[in-house]
């Protein structure tokens, strides 16, 4: 749906009526500007009023589900909430108040009722205006039908990431077949066999980070250095290098650009039809093309120079010759960009949060330190991945950080398509045109699945005897039974066929 159709459907009808009236009255009531404006006002107000009444009425398909009035009325409310950066906290409050399922919004914009004109006018129609109703569900019985087998396809929130005709990256592909096809090279690129090849690159970047920290004295913004490390490594993976933030700082401003552009799609995801306007605002969305040009340059250079190492690009560009058809260059580039966008901020945030929690809790810090000292002598190479597997406290710290601060706190949206029949997920009926999210942050802090959810306790991830040894107060044999620890409700990487392909790589980092 393009802006012209938006415009037309708001103004065409009242203006036409005004004209008709002027015509019928034989010039007795001439068509004046103010007359037209009156018609437009009345028309729009009637629309808003009738749409609002419908959304609150018992005739609405989601009327059976509870939720705040503002959410039922318009998705603009959730846009406002997410622009404040505390969307996940808001979801948590909603679930505390309303239970396992909450209606979090609806943005079935007026235009969606205007099929004939959209059919005729929509050219290159990438943004689907007919947005769905949306539910947030934290009942685990819904998770597996929602994300797992016969899962629902991705929801319209991903359209908020497009601002024009650019190629959809894997994460935004809503068609299940197309998604499965596009995901194949990713699965090879991030599978166990390929990961072995990335170890030296990761090792080198990790050394660079440590060196850089050693050279700095005084106060350090650890989160920024970690983020530089993650971006550097991911750009190595995506395009065979090009960032070098640890060495040069943010010379061409891409880090700031990418870092600051993360919230926008989240906000626009609530009302994808707005993204095309956003992209047209002066000074907004204009830096992304610059980055895309940069990515294009990196990819070109990479292709002309040939690969020196097997990285993710090697697979995405089908250099292993596995795919019968060579993917178009723009698809490969969108993939490279996605590696940086999906892989850097997530891992950087997970690592920063882990360090933050350790620095806040000296008990946990000392225990981890003890474990590291046990496995490595001073001067040893600590990046030995095989050894990490046998370090239960380290793995506990990682999972506990991901539990308390999942880097994708609101989860991925799925939707029952508009023309599809109602589907039953667990014990909920999901009518066609309904989107569903599982807010991971809320799920991870649900005391029914994790006792003492607000406490950072890596021990909860350890084996019964190890944790009883460390925290006898909580985990001694007669007490452990009353401590709930339900790892199936732990889904920082989502689950199912669209879960995070980069999961194993992320654990290595």
Which chain residues interact with ligand HEM by CB under 6 A?
154, 170-171, 183, 186, 338-339, 342-343, 346-347, 350, 407-408, 412, 492-494, 498-502, 505-506
177 or 215: CB nearest ligand HEM: 177
Residue 496 found at the interface with ligand NAG (CB under 6 A) = no
Cβ–Cβ < 8 Å for 163, 285: yes
Q: Would you say 90 or 461 has its CB closer to ligand NAG?
A: 461
489 binds ligand NAG (CB under 6 A): yes
How far, in Å, CA of 196 to CA of 194, rounded? 5
Considering only 423, 449, 494, 498, the residue that binds ligand NAG (CB under 6 A) is: 449
Q: What is the Cα–Cα distance from 184 to 182, expressed in whole angstroms?
A: 6
Q: Report the nearest approach of ligand HEM to the CB of residue 253 (Å).
A: 23
Single out the residue of 395, 451, 504, 508 in contact with ligand NAG (rule: CB under 6 A): 395
DSSP, collapsed to helix, strand or coil, labels residue 195 as helix
Strand partners of residue 103: 135
- Residue (of 502, 503, 469, 507) closest to 237 by Cα position: 502
Q: For residues 32 and 362, which CB has a smaller minimum distance to ligand NAG in the complex?
A: 362
Could you tell which of ligand HEM, ligand NAG, none binds residue 505, using a CB distance below 5 to 8 A set by kind?
Answer: ligand HEM
Answer whether 339's CB lies under 8 Å from 311's CB. Answer: no
Residues 103 and 88: their CA atoms lie apart, in Å, by: 15
Among positions 396, 411, 496, 502, the unique one binding ligand NAG when judged by CB under 6 A: 396
Site size toward ligand NAG (CB under 6 A) is 19
Q: Which does 167 bind (CB under 5 to 8 A by kind): ligand NAG, ligand HEM, none?
A: none
Does residue 458 interact with ligand NAG by CB under 6 A? yes
Residue tagged 């001067």 (tokens):
379
Segment interacting with ligand NAG (CB under 6 A) among 5-13, 55-63, 409-417, 483-491: 483-491
Q: Does 207 bind ligand NAG (CB under 6 A)?
A: no
∠ CA 294-297-298, nearest 5°, is 90
Cα distance between the two ends of the chain: 41
Q: What is the β-pairing status of strands 434-437 and 130-137?
A: parallel
Q: Distance (Å, rounded) from C-alpha 311 to C-alpha 300?
A: 15
| Least distance between ligand NAG and beta carbon 221 (Å) | 24
Q: Does 211 bind ligand NAG (CB under 6 A)?
A: no
CB of 296 to ligand HEM, least distance (A): 19
Tokens 């015509």, located at residue: 23
- When asked if residue 486 is in the footprint of ligand NAG (CB under 6 A), the reply is yes
Of the pair 65, 493, the CB lying nearest ligand HEM is at 493
Dist. CA 14–CA 20, nearest whole Å: 10
Q: Is 346 in the site for ligand NAG (CB under 6 A)?
A: no
d(CA 477, CA 492): 29
| Residue 361 interacting entry, from ligand HEM, ligand NAG, none, C-beta within 5 to 8 Å by type | ligand NAG
Instruction: Report what 342 binds from ligand NAG, ligand HEM, none; CB cut-off 5-8 Å by kind.
Output: ligand HEM
Question: Closer CB to ligand NAG, residue 468 or residue 489?
Answer: 489
Position among 87, 235, 337, 399 found at the interface with ligand NAG (CB under 6 A) = 399
| Tokens 């907004």 found at | 284
456's contact among ligand HEM, ligand NAG, none, with CB below 5 to 8 A by partner kind, is ligand NAG
Distances (CA, A) of 249 to 21, 240, 244: 66, 18, 7
Closer CB to ligand NAG, 318 or 395, in the complex? 395
Angle value at C-alpha 306, between 305 and 310, nearest 5 degrees: 135
Indicate whether 140 belongs to the interface with ligand NAG (CB under 6 A).
Answer: yes
Nearest to 458 by CA among 476, 447, 470: 470
**Maximal CA-CA distance, the chain:** 97
Residues in CB range of 300: below 8 A, 6 or more apart = none
Q: Which is nearer to ligand NAG, 91 or 243 (CB)?
A: 91
Query: CA separation (Å) from 301 to 203, 239, 240, 241, 315?
Result: 24, 9, 9, 11, 16
Closest distance of CB 112 from ligand HEM, Å: 24
Q: Which residues contact ligand NAG (rule: CB under 6 A)? A: 140, 361, 363-364, 395-396, 399, 448-449, 455-459, 461, 471, 486, 488-489
């Amino acid at each position: 749906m393009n802006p012209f159709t938006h415009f037309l459907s708001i103004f065409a009808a009242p203006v036409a009526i005004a004209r008709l009236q002027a015509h019928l009255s034989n010039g007795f009531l001439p068509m004046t500007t103010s007359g037209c404006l009156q018609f437009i006002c009345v028309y729009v107000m009637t629309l808003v009023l009738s749409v609002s009444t419908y959304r609150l009425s018992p005739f609405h398909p989601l009327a059976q589900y509870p939720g705040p009035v503002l959410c039922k009325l318009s998705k603009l409310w959730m846009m406002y909430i997410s622009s404040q950066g505390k969307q996940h906290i808001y979801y948590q409050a909603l679930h505390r108040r309303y239970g396992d399922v909450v209606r979090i919004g609806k943005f079935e914009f007026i235009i969606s009722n205007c099929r004939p004109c959209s059919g005729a006018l929509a050219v290159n129609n990438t943004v689907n205006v007919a947005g769905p109703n949306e539910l947030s569900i934290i009942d685990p019985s819904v998770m597996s039908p929602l994300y797992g087998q016969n899962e629902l396809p991705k929801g319209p929130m991903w359209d908020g990431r497009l601002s024009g005709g650019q190629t959809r990256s894997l994460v935004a592909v809503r068609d299940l077949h197309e998604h499965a096809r596009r995901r194949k090279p990713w699965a090879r690129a991030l599978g166990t066999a390929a990961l072995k090849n990335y170890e030296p690159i990761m090792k080198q970047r990790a050394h660079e980070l440590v060196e850089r920290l050693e050279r700095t004295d005084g106060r350090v913004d650890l989160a920024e250095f970690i983020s530089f490390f993650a971006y550097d490594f991911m750009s190595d993976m995506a395009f065979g290098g090009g960032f070098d933030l640890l060495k040069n700082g943010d010379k061409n401003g891409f880090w700031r650009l990418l870092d600051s552009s993360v919230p926008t799609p989240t906000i626009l995801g609530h009302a994808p039809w707005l993204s095309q306007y956003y992209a047209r605002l002066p000074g907004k969305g204009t830096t992304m093309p610059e980055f895309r040009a940069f990515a294009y340059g990196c990819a070109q250079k990479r292709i002309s120079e040939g690969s020196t190492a097997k990285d993710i690009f090697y697979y995405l560009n089908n250099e292993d010759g596995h795919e019968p058809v060579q993917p178009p260059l723009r698809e490969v580039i969108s993939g490279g960009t996605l590696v940086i966008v999906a892989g850097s901020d997530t891992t950087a945030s997970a690592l920063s949060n882990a360090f933050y929690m350790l620095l806040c809790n000296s008990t946990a810090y000392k225990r981890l330190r003890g474990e590291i000292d046990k496995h490595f002598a001073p001067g040893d190479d600590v990046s030995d991945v095989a050894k990490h597997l046998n370090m239960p406290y380290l793995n506990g710290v990682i999972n506990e950080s991901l539990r308390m601060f999942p880097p994708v706190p609101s989860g991925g949206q799925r939707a029952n398509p508009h023309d599809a029949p109602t589907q039953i997920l667990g014990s909920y009926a999901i009518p066609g045109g309904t989107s569903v999210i599982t807010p991971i942050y809320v799920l991870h802090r649900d005391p029914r699945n994790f006792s003492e959810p607000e406490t950072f306790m890596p021990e909860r991830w350890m084996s019964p005897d190890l944790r009883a040894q460390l925290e006898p107060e909580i985990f001694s044999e007669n007490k452990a039974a009353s401590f709930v620890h339900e790892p199936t409700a732990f889904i920082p990487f989502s689950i199912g066929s669209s879960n995070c392909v980069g999961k194993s790589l992320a654990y290595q980092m």
